[in-house]
Structure 1
Amino acid sequence: MSGGPADPSAGTGAWGPFEAIRGLRPDGVIPQVTTIRRLLPDVPTEHDPYAAAQAALAPLAGSVAPGARIAVTAGSRGIHDLVVVVRAAVDWLRSVGAEPFVVPAMGSHGGATAEGQREMLAGLGVTPESVGCPIEATMETVVVGTLPDGTPVHHDAVAAKSDGVLLVNRVKPHTDFHGPVESGLAKILAIGLGNRQGAAALHAGGIPLLGASIEAAARMVVETGKVLGGLAILENAQEKTAAVELVVAEGIGRAAEMALLQRAGSLMARLPFDSLDVLVVDEMGKDKSGAGMDTNVLGRCWVHGIPEFESPSIATVTVHRLSEASHGNASGLGLADVMPARLLEQIDLRTSYVNALTSGAGGARRSRLPMVMEDDAAAVLAAVTMSGRRDWSSLRLARIRDTLSPNELMVTPALLTEAADRFDLEIAGTARDLTDATGSLTSWGER
């Protein structure tokens, strides 16, 4: 990141390096942590998502004309079986005589450039070789109509020129709002395939109107007659595919998709504790969540400057690196309170700010810079110092890899004692320091 602060090793200055922070609590010693896991014995799992996707598409066989060019969507999220399901859709379309291709459907992500979106897909494993067809990307759009308030509804120009569009996306609760339709098929159609212009237009009305705008815009695109339907991927609390189901065009943004959202919400992984002093998040990124870190896991949204979730309640959050698949997009960084200086070097301001500008007021708040400390140890120490816990021996601190993986945690003794009394949690390691002598987070070891 250009224009960053001075080298923290050069002196205290405005940095407040580790020694200065430690001086605030010279008696403060962060307790050791122990790995625990959540036991999920009855999680529904689809063991062959490729076959499930192909079977789900069977009802569309009569809707695809031989030689038809069909656009298959792929978004920017780290969906467990995204490549498998997209490949299944491509193979099925080719088996009925169509000529499929993949089109990125991710709004303004990838720096709002066609090449940037190709790179994001490649980072998720979606390449012409892995899915078996070309990838055609553009940021150009056509306007298919306007909403009653005058908002234009944009649609990807490549998809608009195709003979049909098949949506592929995960259905799950949204990170900004809750309503009958949240993240899923309607969203990837209205915002994902709206590219930067469409995403910005729909977000411009503010978060309170976003859900209704997505539904209305998606329905307007469906009415063009180009949308074949969508493959909805549901994931379980173990981050694996629970089901792959077809929603026909008439059901997108309506009862069929709404029912899947309810199922997805019941399957979603969440933190096993309702109250934490500190949450340490190893990695954030657009492949983890549209908000970089899933607000449903953090219990904080900040769209209106307040947490906006009743549970969980987390006093302070640290985040320590940006995923490679994000390609510098650090939107959502403002959901954290403290970070190490190393993360600054991973941030592409242009890419991050393009996404924030597209997202409206929520994007502005979430793109603010957290407190910057010299290393992982200093970041955690600062968070603990600000957590409101006077007696650190009773500190309720948990560490997770990312918000996609809240079922495996490192926890301090106060939480370990609670975990030992619960049937749904198991102790899976021995006590260790959270950070090492170099100031870095210790490794997780074997998963």
Structure 2
Amino acid sequence: MKEYQLIKIKNQFPENSLKNIKKHCHQELENLKGLIKKNTSIAIGVGSRGIDNLEIVVKEVVDFVKEKEANPFIIPAMGSNGGATSEGQEEVLAGYGITEKRVGAPIRSSMETVEISSGINTHRIYMDKHAFESDGVILINKIKPHTDFHSTYESGLVKMAVIGLGKEPGAEAIHKFGVFGLTNLIPESAKTIFNTGKILAGIGLVENAYDKTMMVKAIPGTEIIEEELKLINIARANRPKLPVDNIDVLIIDEMGKNISGVGVDTNIIGRIKIYGQPEPENPKIKSVIMGDLTDESFGNATGVGLADIISRKLYDKIDLKKTYKNIATSSFLERGKIPFVAENDREAFELALRNCGTSTLGEERIIRIKNTLHLDVLYISEAILNEIKDNPQIEPTEEKINLFDSDKTLYPF
């Protein structure tokens, strides 16, 4: 049986992460001290994405609100994620360490909403009932390029205010308009939401190419729409990418909701699969393999349709009810289609190679990554190494690995 080997490389990005998150949070939160009034109830909105230092940031916000003699509580601000149930959304938060015991504030998880649409809106706008009945809301979210669309506002506090706080009906109200809803109606809806005065502030987090916190920004609610534009540009400038644009086979060891809302970062793999939305020019990948679903996804395999081939291991972890609920809300059905299911990792790889039409041994252009968040360590084929060996950002190692063990399973990354 032929052995397939890849070469380990280190993809070096600027190391600009914050070294003391608590200190930076404390300094930033002082900008909000005049906004929190004594004896008020403050809802702290937390989403469903994996965010570096999330638990630390949430606890710092909770402690800050308590210092001002107000009463904080946590609400899930995640649209229809978590299976669109209050229990499921609370479970998602717990997976990130966001529990009353760990952050010091109770969790109030509900799918109930209040409609706050004004007569001028062409669509309905909703807000979580607990948030609406509070004295004010502080949102916490990572700001980054979105995996569905590119526009003025992408993934961040503005979108969280509209879709995250809007729960299932808020998400459906936007997604039923497709890409137009995401690019045009989110900003319009956000203005209505911010005009209620309910959003006291947002904590915007920006991560570097190593998926580490590089910026914490506490923004008064009246300034979020303006300030997020600056933060998204910083996030774009610091996002990672694969070292080449033309790839025969990309092996992604794991996908999941804690990695991206659609399981993988579409900006990394160059696939969007949304009707009416142009596909990215680069990278061009002939075959994408996804090997596993993270435990933090709780069976939600939204984005599995971006792959060409998946392993039986991943397939067996899929909770179709949760996945289809998420896909139906987004209305991007292509992303929920089940790809070819290979019985093991080796079968998936050999099928992917055949699908590429590369016949000359040694010319296969192969990259293996752990997931689309972590691109600092990769395994690549000789053909790709020969192309990038003079790139100062790339540090080749002497380490070569066999791809598969005797059970036809990928060796641990």
Say whether the fold is shared (TM-score over 0.5).
Answer: yes
In 2, the alpha carbon distance for the partners of 1:93 and 1:383 equals 53
Amino acid of the residue matched to residue 53 of structure 2?
D
* Equivalent residue in structure 1 for 2:146, among 174, 182, 188: 174
In 1, the alpha carbon distance for the partners of 2:101 and 2:230 equals 34
SS at match of 2:200: strand
In 2, the alpha carbon distance for the partners of 1:32 and 1:307 equals 35
Query: After alignment, is 119-128 or 146-155 more displaced?
Result: 146-155
Matched, 1:419 2:379: no
* Equivalent residue in structure 2 for 1:327, among 291, 294, 298: 298
Matched, 1:187 2:165: no
SS at match of 2:117: strand
Matched, 1:442 2:384: no
Same amino acid, percent of matched pairs = 38
In 2, the alpha carbon distance for the partners of 1:406 and 1:334 equals 22
* Equivalent residue in structure 1 for 2:104, among 132, 137, 142: 132
Amino acid of the residue matched to residue 18 of structure 2?
E
Amino acid of the residue matched to residue 237 of structure 2?
S
Amino acid of the residue matched to residue 296 of structure 1?
N
Matched, 1:433 2:402: yes
Q: How far off is 1:282 after superposition?
A: 0.5
Q: How far off is 1:167 after superposition?
A: 0.6
Q: Please name the residue that 1:282 is paired with.
A: 253
Q: Please name the residue that 2:12 is paired with.
A: 39
Provide, for residues 396-430 of structure 1, a one-character-per-residue CA deviation record: whole Å limited to 9, x for no partner: 10011111112211111111223322211112351
Preserved contact between residue 227 and residue 249 of structure 1 (Cα < 8 Å): yes
In 1, the alpha carbon distance for the partners of 2:129 and 2:299 equals 26
SS at match of 1:417: helix
SS at match of 1:34: strand
In 2, the alpha carbon distance for the partners of 1:182 and 1:306 equals 15
Preserved contact between residue 143 and residue 152 of structure 1 (Cα < 8 Å): yes
Q: Where in structure 1 are there 5+ consecutive unaligned residues?
A: 1-25
SS at match of 1:386: helix
Q: Please name the residue that 1:6 is paired with.
A: none
Provide, for residues 23-52 of structure 1, a one-character-per-residue CA deviation record: whole Å limited to 9, x for no partner: xxx9xx574111111122x33211112221
In 2, the alpha carbon distance for the partners of 1:388 and 1:139 equals 49
Matched, 1:304 2:296: no
Amino acid of the residue matched to residue 93 of structure 1?
V
Preserved contact between residue 187 and residue 214 of structure 1 (Cα < 8 Å): yes
TM-score using structure 1 length: 0.90
Preserved contact between residue 338 and residue 371 of structure 1 (Cα < 8 Å): yes
Q: Please name the residue that 1:209 is paired with.
A: 181
Amino acid of the residue matched to residue 349 of structure 2?
V
CA RMSD of aligned residues (A): 1.5
Matched, 1:96 2:68: yes
* Equivalent residue in structure 1 for 2:351, among 382, 386, 396: 382
Provide, for residues 354-387 of structure 1, a one-character-per-residue CA deviation record: whole Å limited to 9, x for no partner: 0001001x2x100000111111111111111102
Preserved contact between residue 31 and residue 413 of structure 1 (Cα < 8 Å): no
Preserved contact between residue 279 and residue 314 of structure 1 (Cα < 8 Å): yes
Q: Please name the residue that 1:111 is paired with.
A: 83
Tell me: CA distance 1:30–1:197, structure 2 relative to 1, closer, same or farther (3 Å). farther
Q: How far off is 1:229 after superposition?
A: 1.2
TM-score using structure 2 length: 0.97
Q: Where in structure 2 are there 5+ consecutive unaligned residues?
A: none
Q: Please name the residue that 2:362 is paired with.
A: 393
In 1, the alpha carbon distance for the partners of 2:263 and 2:366 equals 21
Tell me: CA distance 1:146–1:403, structure 2 relative to 1, closer, same or farther (3 Å). farther
SS at match of 2:138: strand
Q: How far off is 1:146 after superposition?
A: 4.5
SS at match of 2:401: coil
In 2, the alpha carbon distance for the partners of 1:70 and 1:428 equals 51
In 1, the alpha carbon distance for the partners of 2:122 and 2:304 equals 32
Find runs of 4+ consecutive structure 1 residues off by over 6 angstroms: none
SS at match of 1:63: coil
Provide, for residues 165-209 of structure 1, a one-character-per-residue CA deviation record: whole Å limited to 9, x for no partner: 001000000111111110000011100111011001111111133
* Equivalent residue in structure 1 for 2:211, among 224, 232, 239: 239
Q: How far off is 1:307 after superposition?
A: 6.5
In 2, the alpha carbon distance for the partners of 1:188 and 1:149 equals 19
Amino acid of the residue matched to residue 233 of structure 1?
L
Q: Please name the residue that 1:69 is paired with.
A: 41
* Equivalent residue in structure 1 for 2:378, among 409, 421, 439: 409
In 1, the alpha carbon distance for the partners of 2:314 and 2:24 equals 40
Preserved contact between residue 32 and residue 219 of structure 2 (Cα < 8 Å): no
Tell me: CA distance 1:298–1:326, structure 2 relative to 1, closer, same or farther (3 Å). same
In 1, the alpha carbon distance for the partners of 2:327 and 2:383 equals 38
Matched, 1:154 2:123: no
Preserved contact between residue 202 and residue 214 of structure 1 (Cα < 8 Å): yes
Amino acid of the residue matched to residue 293 of structure 1?
V
